[in-house]
Every structure is written in structure tokens, then in C-alpha cells.
Amino acid sequence: MKRTRYVRTALGVFVGVLVLLATSSGDRALAHKEKHTPDQLKAFEDVFMEQVKIGDLLFHGDGATEKRLGVTLSKTGMACAMCHPFGSDNHPYEFPKFQEQMNKFATLRDMINWCIEKPNEGVKIDPDSDAMKALETYIIWSNKGSKLDPGRH
Ligand code: HEC
């Protein structure tokens, strides 16, 4: 009698595990079930490239874009691009890392704000702002294809 109960319990656990495995892999499959349509992909790309364009304008000191987004990235008349002629000079793939200028462990957004406040004497921006997202997008897009190398100096 005792042995049958043991076998039944073991069988129950085994079936339970099987069901769990089946449902969890089912969920995973579901997440990628539908392929994106060409229209969807085009829409995603458009949204992305729009951010790249806004970031490009900000990076090159476009006053109208700064005004529209309510930010003052520089008070010295210097745009990001004057010290960093190519967005790719910004090595975004090295972040996060310990940043000596700030004496702290910093993200790319921390570094962008450091440049706005220090060399540019501008007004630090909200890390979640549209301007920050666009600057980050432009800088990372400029480095498309680079290998991530966080922590590097
Ligand atoms: C007057 C010159 C100057 C201007 C203008 C300037 N920066 Fe910088 N930037 C620097 C210096 C100096 C560093 C530090 C370089 C280092 O750590 O090797 C730096 C570093 C950076 C880094 C990190 C690069 C790395 O490899 O660690 C980023 C990102 C960056 N700047 C973004 C910006 C952005 C965005 C702007 C415009 C809002 C801007 N910078 C404007 C001088 C400038």
C-alpha cells in the first residue's frame, strides 16, 4: 500500500514538472510567435531614426531644437561636436565605468550631463528627458557595430 502511494506521488511530481516545462517553453515561444510585418519594422525604424536626427541636431548645437525641448546644453557657444567631431569619439560602449573626472562609477547619461555642466557650462538635463534619450540614441547609433566593452579605459 505504502509503496503504491510513493509511486503515485513520484508520478504526480513527474507529471507536474512536465506540465511546468511545457507551459514555460510555450510562453517563450509565444513571445516570438508572430514575425514583425515589413510595415511594423519600417515604423520601428522611423521612430528610431527620428531620435537619431534629434540627437544629431542637439549634438551639433541646434538652438531651435534645444528651445523646443527646453534645454540649455551649453553657455559657452561650444556644441558637443566641436570637442567630439564625431559621435563615435564618445566611446559609449565603454560605459558604465569608473569615471575619473567625476570620481564615481558612471553611466553614459552621467557622462553626457558631466559634459553639459562642466566644459559646456550648461544646465544639467533630466536623465529621463527626451533630450537625453535623443543624445544617447545619436551617440550609440554613431557607434553601431562596436563591441560592448563596459568598464574599459
Ligand atoms: C569643451 C570641450 C567639450 C565639449 C563641448 C563637450 N565635451 Fe564631452 N568630453 C570632453 C572631455 C574633456 C571629456 C573627457 C575625455 C576623457 O575622459 O578621456 C569628454 C568626454 C565625453 C564623453 C565620454 C567619452 C569617453 O570615452 O569616456 C561623452 C559621452 C561626452 N563627452 C559627451 C558629450 C556631449 C553629449 C556633449 C554636448 C552636450 C559634450 N560631450 C561636449 C570635452 C567636451
Give the H or E element holding residue 24: helix 2-31
Say what the pTM is.
0.83
The CATH code of the domain that includes 152 is 1.10.760.10
* Structural domain span for residue 111: 46-153
Indicate the number of domains in the chain: 1
Ligand 1 atom 3, closest CA: 83
Question: Are the CB atoms for 87 and 141 separated by under 8 Å?
Answer: yes
Is 24 domain-assigned?
A: no
pLDDT tens readout for residues 91-145:
999 999 999 999 999 999 999 999 999 999 999 999 999 999 999 999 999 999 9
Is 120 domain-assigned?
A: yes
The predicted pLDDT at position 28 comes to: 56
Among left, alpha and beta (phi > 0; psi -120 to 50; other), residue 81 is: alpha
DSSP state at residue 90: G
Is 20 domain-assigned?
A: no
Is 52 domain-assigned?
A: yes
Q: Residues lining ligand 1, judged by CB closer than 6 Å?
A: 73, 78, 80, 82-84, 90-91, 94, 108, 111-112, 115-116, 119-120, 135, 139
